[in-house]
Structure 1
Amino acid sequence: MKLQTQIPLKKQSDNLIDYASNILLIGSCFVENIGNKLEYFKFQNLLNPFGILFHPKAIETLMVGAIEKRQFSEKDIFFYDEQWHSFDAHSKLSNPSKEALLLNLNNRLGLTNQKIQRASHVIITLGTAWVYRFVESQNIVANCHKVPQKQFSKELLSVVEILQLLENMVCLIKKVNPDVAIIFTVSPVRHLKDGFIENTQSKSHLITAIHSILNDKIHYFPSYEIMMDELRDYRFYAEDMIHPNNLAIEYIWNRFKEVWISEDSNSIMDEVDVIQKGLQHKPFSPDSESHQKFLQNLEKSKQQLKLKLPFIKF
């Protein structure tokens, strides 16, 4: 008896992700779930240098700034609620020091530029087509930083607008890195604060635009569809009934692995997993002989793995 309808996925025939790959992950909170898995298994990746970016305009702004080597200056930041902020970055980058914020923003912009040029894969997760426009400047912001909502207007990006943003970011990336594989996905997190119908409308705009640009170097991984169809049960959701829980994240990660991670990487991932679990182990008797031997064996495993892959750090 089949108790689930499963989306058929086909293994990529080339440009699979392995331990030689260089991966940039940008976008909504779901890309952090995939990025954290890659980080756990010690792949070479850079995750959301500007923090979580929910919509395509915010991601396109970052790509333009990084590839064109723009620099943030005082006119690009503002002071509110005892912190300096940038409307182009997540609140986690905000800082009480103006100089520290500018230095961090420009360093991260440079790091993103370097990563784009070296990347074998760029993974972009779009969360919503709803955006907020700062009334004073008429610019669409990546994050409102709890500035009063009356200072923003809310609007839904059309399919045509999203398509133009995607085409621009893809064109910029390909200009400096023609061989990179770009993987788009739509976040399975439902933005219900926008409204149930509005969330569906938003996701449909994103999916339609993405599918207008797919080719042999631009791909789509159906994270949203897996959550909505294969995992259509609230036992796969966190307590807020909106975000996927750890079981759902693990399930979608395994489906991603089926398609994008090379078979040759599995044995190394197993080695890394053993070490990671060993590092998380909490002994009953830290000073016991058996635990000291356990630590010695763990260190030996780490050194053996580093001989094969020197970039790995625990």
Structure 2
Amino acid sequence: MDFTTKIPIEKSNNPISYDSKIIALGSCFAENMAEKFSYFKFQNEVNPFGIIFNPVSIENLVSRVINNQKFTEDDVFFHNDLWHCYEVHSELSHPDKETFLTNLNLIIQQSNNLITQSTHVIITYGTSWVYRNKSSQKIVANCHKVPQSQFDKEILSVEVIEKSIQNTMDLIKKINPNCAFIFTISPVRHVKDGFVENQRSKAHLITAMHEIINYQLSIINYFPSYELMMDELRDYRFYAEDMLHPSQTAIDYIWICFFENYIEEENHALMGEICSIQKALLHRPFNPDSKEHQLFLLSVKEKIDKLQYQFPYIRF
């Protein structure tokens, strides 16, 4: 008997290998997947400007990066003892304005290089709900705990999202016409917006995404993270304690579905070797000074040296 329905996942037409260079942008689920890439020692970077949830804010940052549009004093503000920018995550906020601007503009330069060199761009959209600053009339990526009265909340239409996704792709292709795109919708439930509102939000993202995919299949893959969580993992035991985010078990399951279909099969054996080394490095012996443990460490070191000879960028 089967107690779940399996979601069919098409093999990627641009699979990832250890030679690939990956940049991931978007919601906190993008961070979850990036942790897996890092664990298996792929060449990847994630969210240079921090976690960003909505398509328009991702597009705005990509536009800055591609056009090398520097942040200025007009783009930052002081609140709760820190300098912030509405376009980036609060993890980048800083007590010194000049340092903050320098850091932001350095990230623009670094991100331009990353996108230029990338073979795969992975974008995870989290929500269609956005906050528009009343004074500037601009959509913000992060409210930075500024009073709610300074923003209007709205939901992006399917048409606006579709245009934003296309703009993001077009911008990236200006400096990297050969990169492949992988899009996914975050399985995290944004129920602070409301239960019905969360479903509306995800529906807008999915509809817009598939409008784009339908006529650009050659360079785009859609990975069904949201669908896997909602269907194959249709049970609260697969959620974290907050009942909103996927549990580690769910993240591991979704990752397995991803690597089985999006990473070249020739690389699976190498992933197994790296996983073996990672587990060995976490091993805690009863007697660290024993001859047996010293031989174990030597064996692990030999495996690492052999891998690093073949793949110099791999570091443990």
Aligned equivalents of 2:84, 2:247: Cα separation in 1: 31
Q: Which moved more, 1:15-24 or 1:101-110?
A: 101-110
Q: For residue 180 of structure 2, what is the aligned residue in structure 1?
A: 181
**Given the alignment, which residue of 289, 295, 298 partners 1:296?**
298
Cα displacement (A) at 1:116: 1.1
- Identify the residue that residue 171 of structure 1 maps to in structure 2: 170
Deviations 1:18-75 (Å, cap 9, x if unpaired)? Answer: 0000101000011111111001101001111111001001100111000001111222
1:15, distance to aligned residue in structure 2 (A): 2.1
Query: Which residue in 1 is equivalent to 2:3?
Result: 3
SS in 2 for 1:113: helix
Query: Which residue is 1:160 aligned to?
Result: 159
- Summarize the alignment of residues 222-237 of structure 1 with structure 2, pairs less than 5 Å apart: 222-237=224-239
Residue number in structure 1 paired with 2:138: 139
Q: CA deviation at 1:292?
A: 2.2
Q: Secondary structure of the equivalent of 2:212?
A: coil
Q: Check whether the contact 2:14–2:219 (CA below 8 A) recurs between aligned residues.
A: no
CA deviation string 1:166-222 (max 9, x = no partner): 111111111211111111100000100000000000000000111111121122111
In structure 2, the residue corresponding to 1:212 is in which secondary structure?
helix
3-state SS of 1:219 partner: strand
The ranges of structure 1 where at least 4 consecutive aligned residues each deviate by more than 6 angstroms after the TM superposition are none
* Aligned positions, number: 313
Runs of 5+ in structure 2 lacking a partner? Answer: none
Distance 2:280 2:95 in 1: 38
How many percent identity over aligned positions? 54
Counterpart CA distance in 1 for 2:147 and 2:56 is: 21
**Is the Cα contact below 8 Å between 2:24 and 2:44 reproduced in 1?**
yes
For 1:109-146, what per-residue CA distance to the aligned partner results, in whole angstroms no more than 9, with x for missing partners?
A: 11111111111110000000000111121111100111
TM-score, length-scaled by structure 1: 0.97
Unaligned runs of 5+ in 1: none
Q: Does 1:238 align with 2:245?
A: no
Q: SS in structure 1 opposite 2:152?
A: strand
Counterpart code for 2:137:
Q
Please show how residues 82-97 of structure 1 align to structure 2 within 5 Å. 82-97=81-96
Partner of residue 34, structure 1: 33
CA–CA separation in structure 2 for the residues paired with 1:268 and 1:102: 41
Matched with 1:77 is: 76
Query: What amino acid is aligned across from residue 132 of structure 1 in structure 2?
Result: Y
Give the corresponding residue for 1:45: 44
Supply the distance in 1 between the matched residues of 2:40 and 2:245 (Cα, whole angstroms): 23
- Of residues 275, 278, 281, the one that matches 2:280 is 278
Q: What does residue range 214-229 of structure 1 map to in structure 2 within 5 Å?
A: 214=213, 215=216, 216-229=218-231
Q: Secondary structure at the match of 1:179?
A: coil
CA distance in 1 between counterparts of 2:101 and 2:285 reads 44
